[in-house]
Amino acid sequence: MEIPAIVGAGLVVIGAGIGIGRIGGSAMEAIARQPEATNKIQTAMLIAAALIEGIGFAALFAV
């Protein structure tokens, strides 16, 4: 692997981590505001996190 590819892979991992962290934090805030919507919020959070992680894996394997 070349150095730019390694740096790019690191940036992908950092970006995915930040994205999933923001999703989790926002979901916790939403659940705190509307506890009755917990199931819907968790479902949407898991789907979004899975999509971000999938794109992250695809970017890593493309390197």
Give the pLDDT score at 62. Answer: 79
What mean pLDDT is predicted for residues 27-32? 97
What mean pLDDT is predicted for residues 53-62? 88
Give the pLDDT score at 61. Answer: 85
| Banded model confidence at residue 59, pLDDT cuts 50, 70, 90 | confident
What mean pLDDT is predicted for residues 30-51? 97
User: Global pTM?
Assistant: 0.83
**What values do phi and psi take at 34, rounded to 5?**
-135, 80
The answer to whether residues 13 and 56 touch, using CB atoms and an 8 Å cutoff, is yes
